[in-house]
């Protein structure tokens, strides 16, 4: 028998509920990036809001994350940092970066709302320092508020749109994800949302085909909540190996899961169990965090055949996806002395040799393969060009032996995956049935849904779309009052 999800996700009919413990306008499942924002907006709209959070505290995966928010189109932070950006450039970039089959409606809404969402965050007390750290695609060491978090300044996106750094980070000396979530959780509570911690949802409650509440477990006992609207903000499924195997088996080779144990997919599965449609369940972000320092991209990345396969200066999530989905998770970084340094996490060259021939032999690559790759690369690099993979000229120069190679295979290098697929929803967070209709009473946001990223990714898009569409879902859920 196929191993399955092992979650008790079949719905319960209202007539089978002995008694409801609570009755509210809006119940929000999960108090992470999407849930805090949904709860804030629903409560601000006047709804009575109960949040069910399975852990003992707020924040979800976002509180453990670097907390980058992908925002642009000319935010005040960008403008103050001297960055030129437009909504058109941001949208063109996202359409190119988030495919194949990008969700055009969500991308359009996300771009259109970006300045307002930036303001919303600032109004809650988040400060973005208007300076850029160009060295990293992740959180800076300092308090710079902007990073190039999606390869906007590298091929192919340079051919698609004027590049701009759009990764926004809250100013703090501690984790920005923690600060962001602390701020948003406090805002939700201040707006009137009530949070029940240590409360794990189990299944939806239906009246016919209408969602009218949710069943949870609290202190070992069933806990029934009646609600006009249920908003699922329960994260993704990277911590459910059976679901990952069924939908995105490539991610099983990821070594460093991004998320919490709560990302077991139950929010997705309990909606699927009543006919909710999903999208892009095979998609996963897979960061392979090689840099900083950025000068490492003066080297070349090769696969198990000693071939290059991507421009090294692109977003590391694109490198990780390509390595894991397309190159059998086999990847090496070849550098010379001028480019060499241990990377930010202390990874060092596994092999160092006087010649490329010796190096490929040590690495066990096919004879002559790496030499052919380096020869071709160097021939173009001596002209400052990379016609095969289009690395930017700044990082293109011939590699000079001795050469070193970082072993970037799983188990040695971290592949940091999380799931991007989830429920199909409207822009306003209504969950869609397989037949195309809206499921009455059910809303979702965050990684419980398929968001702006159908497959491709940039850092900050998950917390970005979770918070933004979490707000829209909370607002729409409250309109049923």
Using CB under 8 A, list all residues that contact a second copy: 1-2, 4-10, 99-101, 103, 105, 209, 245-250, 252, 269, 272-275, 277-282, 305-308, 325-327, 366-369, 372-373, 375-376, 379-380, 387-389, 424-427, 432-437, 450, 454-455
Minimal distance in Å, beta carbon 366 to a second copy?
4
- Would you say 348 or 385 has its CB closer to a second copy? 385
Q: Collapse the DSSP code of 353 into the 3-class scheme (helix H, G, I; strand E, B; otherwise coil) and give the result.
A: strand
Q: Collapse the DSSP code of 52 into the 3-class scheme (helix H, G, I; strand E, B; otherwise coil) and give the result.
A: strand
Minimal distance in Å, beta carbon 348 to a second copy?
27
Minimal distance in Å, beta carbon 289 to a second copy?
23
- Would you say 326 or 354 has its CB closer to a second copy? 326
- Would you say 123 or 435 has its CB closer to a second copy? 435
Structure-block tokens of residue 283: 């998609």
Asked if residue 393 lies in contact with residue 336, where contact means CB atoms within 8 angstroms, the answer is: no
Q: At what angle do helices 104-112 and 114-123 cross, to 10 degrees?
A: 50
- Would you say 34 or 63 has its CB closer to a second copy? 34
Which of 177, 226, 231, 237 is CA-nearest to residue 17? Answer: 226
**Tally of helices (H runs) and strands (E runs) in the chain:** 13, 21
**E strands of 199-261, at which residues?**
199-207, 210-218, 221-232
On the 0-12 / 13-18 / 19+ scale of CB atoms within 10 A, 183 is middle
Minimal distance in Å, beta carbon 300 to a second copy?
13
- Would you say 115 or 371 has its CB closer to a second copy? 371
What is the DSSP annotation of 93-106? Answer: HHHHHS-SS--HHH
- Would you say 8 or 398 has its CB closer to a second copy? 8
Minimal distance in Å, beta carbon 316 to a second copy?
19
- Would you say 172 or 450 has its CB closer to a second copy? 450
- Would you say 1 or 173 has its CB closer to a second copy? 1
- Would you say 208 or 346 has its CB closer to a second copy? 208
SS3 content of the chain, % helix, strand, coil (to 5): 30, 20, 45
- Would you say 89 or 329 has its CB closer to a second copy? 329
What is the DSSP annotation of 268-337? Answer: HHHHHTTTB-EE-TT-EEEE---PSSGGGGGSEEE-TTS-B-S-TTS-HHHHHHIIIIISTT--EEEEET
Let me know how long the chain is: 481
* Phi, psi (rounded to 5 degrees) for 392: -65, 145
The set of residues, in sequence order, having a beta carbon less than 8 Å from that of 213 and lying 6+ positions away, is 14, 17, 20, 27, 204, 205, 224, 225, 226, 227, 230
d(CA 413, CA 406): 9
Minimal distance in Å, beta carbon 431 to a second copy?
11
Minimal distance in Å, beta carbon 120 to a second copy?
24
d(CA 98, CA 133): 24
Minimal distance in Å, beta carbon 16 to a second copy?
10
On the 0-12 / 13-18 / 19+ scale of CB atoms within 10 A, 135 is middle
Minimal distance in Å, beta carbon 432 to a second copy?
6
d(CA 104, CA 96): 11
* Phi, psi (rounded to 5 degrees) for 371: -60, -40
- Would you say 63 or 442 has its CB closer to a second copy? 442
- Would you say 144 or 465 has its CB closer to a second copy? 465
Minimal distance in Å, beta carbon 2 to a second copy?
5
Minimal distance in Å, beta carbon 39 to a second copy?
25
Structure-block tokens of residue 40: 């804030």
Minimal distance in Å, beta carbon 399 to a second copy?
15
């Amino acid at each position: 028998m196929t191993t399955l999800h092992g979650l008790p996700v079949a719905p319960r009919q209202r007539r089978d509920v002995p008694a409801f413990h609570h009755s509210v306008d809006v119940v929000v499942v999960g108090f992470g990036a999407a849930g805090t924002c949904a709860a804030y907006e629903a409560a601000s709209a006047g709804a009575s809001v109960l949040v069910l959070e399975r852990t003992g505290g707020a924040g979800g995966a976002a509180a453990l994350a670097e907390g980058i928010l992908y925002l642009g189109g000319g935010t005040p932070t960008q403008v103050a940092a001297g960055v030129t950006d437009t909504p058109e450039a941001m949208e063109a970039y996202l359409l190119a970066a988030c495919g194949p089959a990008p969700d055009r409606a969500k991308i359009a809404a996300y771009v259109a709302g970006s300045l307002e969402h930036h303001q919303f965050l600032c109004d809650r007390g988040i400060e973005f320092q208007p300076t850029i750290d160009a060295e990293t695609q992740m959180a800076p060491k300092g308090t710079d508020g902007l990073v190039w978090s999606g390869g906007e300044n590298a091929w192919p996106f340079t051919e698609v749109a004027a590049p701009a750094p759009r990764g926004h980070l809250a100013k703090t000396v501690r984790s920005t994800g923690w600060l962001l979530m602390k701020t948003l959780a406090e805002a939700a509570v201040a707006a009137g949302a009530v949070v029940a911690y240590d409360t794990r949802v189990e299944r939806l409650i239906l009246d016919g085909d209408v969602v009218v509440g949710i069943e949870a477990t609290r202190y070992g006992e069933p806990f029934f909540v009646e609600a006009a609207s249920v908003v699922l903000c329960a994260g993704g499924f990277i911590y459910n190996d059976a679901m990952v195997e069924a939908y995105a088996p490539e991610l099983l080779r990821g070594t460093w899961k991004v998320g919490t144990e709560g990302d077991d997919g139950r929010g997705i599965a309990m909606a699927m169990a009543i006919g909710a449609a999903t999208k892009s369940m095979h998609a996963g972000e897979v960061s392979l965090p090689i840099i900083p320092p950025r000068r490492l991209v003066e080297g070349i990345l090769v696969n198990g055949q000693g071939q290059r396969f991507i421009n090294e200066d692109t977003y590391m999530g694109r490198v990780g996806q390509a390595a894991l989905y397309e190159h059998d998770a086999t990847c090496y970084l070849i550098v010379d002395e001028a480019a060499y340094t241990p990377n930010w996490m202390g990874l060092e060259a596994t092999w160092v040799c006087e010649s490329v021939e010796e190096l490929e032999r040590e690495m066990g690559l096919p004879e002559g393969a790496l030499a052919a790759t380096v020869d071709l690369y160097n021939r173009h690099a001596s002209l400052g060009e990379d016609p095969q993979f289009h690395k930017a000229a700044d990082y293109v120069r011939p590699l000079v032996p001795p050469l070193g190679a970082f072993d970037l295979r799983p188990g040695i290098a971290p592949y940091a995956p999380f799931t991007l697929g989830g429920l199909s929803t409207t822009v306003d967070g209504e969950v869609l049935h397989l037949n195309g209709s809206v499921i009455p009473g059910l809303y979702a946001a965050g990684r419980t849904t398929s968001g702006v990223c159908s497959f491709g990714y940039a850092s900050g898009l998950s917390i970005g779309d979770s918070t933004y569409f979490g707000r829209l879902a909370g607002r729409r859920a409250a309109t049923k009052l």
